[in-house]
Structure 1
Amino acid sequence: MTIMNINLINYISEHEGFGINTDVIDTNILNLAVVIGVLIYYGRPLLGDIITNRKTTILKNLEDAESRFQQAAENLSFAKEQLQKAKIKSEQIRNQGITIAKQTANKIITSAENDIKRLKETTLYIIKLEEEKCLSEVFSKLNDLAFSKAIEKIKQNLNPSLQKKIVLQNTEKLSTFKR
């Protein structure tokens, strides 16, 4: 395959003016060596400056990246601390909410118990008043009934002579008081 490539190059160079000259003296190797030496001698500081600038830029970029990394790490640490504080605060708020809810529930229960107790007392008082009122009405009706029966009995048994006797007795009693 290599022989074929060389033959192809020789064919092209003979017919089209392109080719590789393998004669060392004819190729001017000394001229090329001098040109390469001059390039190395004078190009070295230029390449050195370019490489130094590139190195400086890379180092600066690395330092910037390291600084940004440190800043990001600090921000992450700060954010983790804030998250932890927020979790603690939310737990405290939740616990306070539970405590307040329990206290409120206890207050409501106590208030309801007091209201029930007061309602029972009020109901018992009203029942007692109604009992007394009913008893008073019964006593009043019994008294009226007894009085009316007594008057009827007196009217039936009272005759003029008995009436005169009662009036005289009461008059004598009044006169003894007068003295």
Structure 2
Amino acid sequence: MKNVTDSFVSLVHWPSAGSFGFNTDILATNPINLSVVLGVLIFFGKGVLSDLLDNRKQRILNTIRNSEELREGAIEQLEKARARLQDVQIEAEGYRAYGYFGIDEQRHESINSTYKTLEQLENNKNESIHFEQQRAINQVRQQIFQQALQGALGTLNSCLNNELHLRTISANIVLFGSMKELTD
């Protein structure tokens, strides 16, 4: 095993002319190694990398197009919503104005109806008062007439004797007879 390790160590110290070996000088080997690795990567990975970049570019462009379409759709919906909002606000203002107008109209109708009802009640009251006055007047007349009749009957009964009674009856018969002749 010592021989294998010695052979690797001795390879490190060999000069690089015409042979293969490890160079431990970092400053001398890194730029060369990096340029070789980059060259190989560029040569073999150019197609794969360009395909990946093209696919990525297409996805980004598709996403941008979709975003633009969605944006336009959103703007259109926003405009429709704004127009609808404006229509609803105008309609609400109309309802509000009509509501105020309707309330005012109902108030006027209620006042007019109340005045008409009060007028009818006043007329009914006046008619009732007039009717009650007429009834009271008629009752007073009847009472006065009954009292006068009773007074007259009382006076007649006290003053009337048989002879006067017969003369009154005879005068009334003559009066009715003359009325009968006039009507025939």
Superposition TM-score, scaled by structure 1 size: 0.76
Give the aligned partner of residue 114 of structure 1.
116
Give the aligned partner of residue 8 of structure 1.
none
Deviations along 1:44-73, one digit per CA (max 9) or x if unpaired, are 222112111111111111222222222222
Q: How does 1:127-138 map to 2 (within 5 A)?
A: 127-138=129-140
Q: How does 1:67-86 map to 2 (within 5 A)?
A: 67-86=69-88
Instruction: Tell whether 2:59 aligns with 1:54.
Output: no
Unpaired runs of 5+ residues, structure 1, are: 1-18
Give the aligned partner of residue 5 of structure 1.
none
Give the aligned partner of residue 156 of structure 1.
158
Deviations along 1:52-103, one digit per CA (max 9) or x if unpaired, are 1111111111222222222222222111111111111111111222222222
State how far apart, in whole Å, the 1-side matches of 2:34 and 2:169 are: 178
Give the aligned partner of residue 25 of structure 2.
21
Superposition TM-score, scaled by structure 2 size: 0.75
Deviations along 1:113-162, one digit per CA (max 9) or x if unpaired, are 11111111111101100000000000011111111111111122212332
Percentage identity across paired residues of the two chains: 26
Count matched residues: 159
Secondary structure of the structure 1 residue equivalent to 2:158: helix
State how far apart, in whole Å, the 2-side matches of 1:152 and 1:31 are: 167
Give the aligned partner of residue 10 of structure 2.
none
